[in-house]
């Protein structure tokens, strides 16, 4: 279900009303007088290039002249290194905040900026799935309702959630249910970002662009042309690389390392992270402008422990996919209901797969699950785990997530005899991501 033409969702919180923005640009003076466009999305590109949102024939206008972005409740105008400059009230600006009704000048063209906003209420989905994501809980049906609405748009989306909650599955389903589903779905792990190598992965390179570049190679933006680019763990992107990504998103063009000519960017961007990006913006570790460029919609996937009613349906669906005709005993289902799943749905999937492979019986018993019996009720265990209710929720969640990551990584490595390759494969993450987590948590 798509948004209305020209309307976009800036922020999604499950079960709440959303602010929908509509950006209208109207040419008041110049060669294109009378031309106007109403935009879906938080970003408008103005220039003479044919893929601009407002295409101008004014010879004094650059191909990529300027952009307008919605950042929170503000509208930011940025000049994109144009030849003749961008002007507001007669003053040449590099960056300026626009208010409704203001005009801007590019070349000999004067443009009226007329934004509007209204509230849109999202409905929970009637479906118990979205792509391969499963859930009967109210929390997941609300998430599915948001994803269904977003899928039919071209909006950039940020998926938030702990490790194992299904962020990549959500991104892939967004792609499959979008108008770009015939194009490629390209995954780039930002946790592997390291200087030229990551820039090469993102933008591509020509032969001889750097030491070891013995052949030309397309980058992720080029490979994703006509489809979707999924930036996994975008919160790990180093601060020095963030302006380069922002520049591409703003200008909608880039070029390979070592190339003299660029190429247009034509893909939807979906990003994911387990880190609190808004907090990172506040601390200066993630650029505010990049955040708002990526986060036209933000969807948070709840951890499995907060939607325990989904455990049994997911487990039964996973078992059925593995082998039809098998089932869980009542004791096995009770054991699953009592487990906290620090690794979320990914952990549940691994538990079901292991039990199905190792058990010779048609009925999976509790002992086949390999779960450690919990001697205390979940509430008591949580209370004794150091949850500090005297601090704001975001701080408490961040501290809890840090403790979980430390304990999970240590237990994971011990389980696999400190073999990082095996441990990373079992956890469903890249080995470099596991190495980074171990290093950050001081696990040796």
pLDDT tens, position by position, 119-148: 566 778 889 999 999 999 999 999 999 999
Q: What is the pLDDT of residues 184-238, one digit of tens each?
A: 999 999 987 665 688 888 888 888 777 777 888 888 999 999 999 999 999 999 8
The answer to whether the beta carbons of residues 180 and 228 sit under 8 Å apart is yes
Question: Which of 61, 182, 163 is CA-nearest to residue 110?
Answer: 61
Residue 385 lies in a domain: no
- Count Cβ neighbours within 10 Å for each residue of 423-440 and write b for 16 or more, e otherwise: bbebbebbebbbebbbee
In percent, the amount of the chain with pLDDT more than 70 equals 86
409 and 434 both lie in a single domain: yes
Q: Is the pLDDT of residue 14 over 80?
A: no
Q: Is the pLDDT of residue 111 over 50?
A: yes
Residues in CB range of 25: below 8 A, 6 or more apart: 36, 37, 39, 44, 46, 53, 54, 68, 111, 112, 113, 114
What is the arithmetic mean of pLDDT over 16-29? 76
Last residue of a domain, one of 78, 99, 120: 120
Last residue of a domain, one of 120, 137, 163: 120
Residue 8 lies in a domain: no
179 and 232 both lie in a single domain: yes
Question: Cβ of 188: how many Cβ atoms within 10 Å?
Answer: 21
Q: What is the pLDDT of residues 140-185, one digit of tens each?
A: 999 999 999 899 888 899 999 998 999 999 999 999 999 999 999 9
Q: Is the pLDDT of residue 118 over 80?
A: no
Q: How many domains does the chain have?
A: 4
Last residue of a domain, one of 300, 318, 339: 300
435 and 329 both lie in a single domain: no
pLDDT given for residue 193 in this prediction = 64
pLDDT given for residue 1 in this prediction = 37
The answer to whether the beta carbons of residues 229 and 168 sit under 8 Å apart is no
- 41: CATH: 2.60.200.20
What is the arithmetic mean of pLDDT over 15-22? 58
99 and 190 both lie in a single domain: no
SS3 assignment, position 13? coil
In this prediction, residue 387 has a pLDDT band, given cuts at 50, 70 and 90, of low
Instruction: Name the residue range of residue 369's domain.
Output: 308-374
151 and 288 both lie in a single domain: yes
Q: What is the pLDDT of residues 232-271, one digit of tens each?
A: 999 999 898 999 999 999 999 988 887 888 889 999 999 9
86 and 67 both lie in a single domain: yes
DSSP class per residue in 150-161? HHTS---EEEE-
What is the arithmetic mean of pLDDT over 21-33? 90
pLDDT given for residue 316 in this prediction = 95
- Count Cβ neighbours within 10 Å for each residue of 139-164 and write b for 16 or more, e otherwise: bbbbbbbbbbbbbebbbbbbbbbbbb
């Amino acid at each position: 279900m798509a948004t209305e033409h020209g309307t976009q969702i800036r922020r999604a919180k499950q079960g709440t009303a959303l602010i929908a923005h509509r950006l209208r640009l109207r040419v008041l003076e110049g060669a294109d007088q009378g031309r106007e466009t109403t935009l879906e999305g938080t970003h408008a590109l103005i220039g003479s290039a044919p893929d601009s949102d407002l295409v101008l024939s004014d010879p004094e206008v650059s191909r990529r002249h300027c952009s307008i972005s919605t950042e929170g409740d503000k509208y930011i105008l940025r000049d994109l290194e144009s030849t003749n400059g961008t002007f507001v009230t007669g003053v040449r600006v590099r960056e300026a905040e626009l208010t409704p009704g203001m005009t801007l000048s590019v070349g000999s063209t004067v443009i009226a900026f007329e934004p509007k906003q209204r509230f849109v209420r999202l409905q929970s989905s009637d479906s118990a799935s979205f792509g391969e994501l499963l859930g009967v809980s109210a929390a997941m049906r609300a998430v599915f309702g948001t994803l269904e609405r977003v899928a039919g748009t071209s909006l950039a989306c940020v998926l938030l959630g702990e490790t194992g909650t299904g962020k990549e599955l959500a991104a892939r389903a967004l792609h499959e249910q979008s108008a770009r589903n015939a194009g490629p779905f390209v995954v780039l792990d930002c946790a592997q970002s390291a200087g030229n190598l990551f820039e090469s992965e993102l933008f591509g390179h020509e032969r001889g662009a750097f030491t070891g570049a013995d052949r030309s190679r397309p980058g992720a933006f080029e490979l994703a042309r006509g489809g979707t680019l999924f930036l996994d763990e975008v919160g790990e992107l180093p601060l020095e690389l963030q302006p380069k990504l922002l520049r591409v998103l703003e200008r909608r063009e880039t070029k390979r390392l070592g190339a003299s000519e660029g190429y247009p960017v034509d893909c939807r961007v979906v990003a994911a992270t387990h880190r609190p990006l808004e907090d990172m913006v506040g601390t200066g570790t993630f650029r505010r402008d990049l955040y708002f460029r990526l986060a036209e919609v933000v969807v948070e996937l709840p951890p499995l422990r907060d939607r325990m009613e989904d455990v049994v349906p997911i487990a039964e669906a996973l078992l059925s996919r593995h082998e039809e005709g098998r089932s869980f005993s009542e004791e096995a289902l009770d054991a699953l209901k009592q487990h906290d799943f620090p690794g979320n749905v990914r952990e549940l999937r691994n538990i079901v797969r292991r039990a199905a492979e190792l058990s010779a019986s048609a009925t999976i018993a509790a002992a086949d699950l390999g779960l450690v019996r919990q001697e205390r009720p979940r509430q008591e265990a949580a209370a004794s785990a150091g949850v500090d209710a005297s601090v704001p929720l975001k701080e408490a969640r961040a501290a809890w997530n840090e403790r979980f990551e430390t304990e999970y990584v240590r237990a994971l490595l011990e389980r696999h005899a400190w073999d990082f390759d095996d441990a990373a494969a079992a956890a469903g993450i890249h080995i470099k991501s596991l190495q980074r987590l171990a290093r950050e948590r001081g696990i040796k």
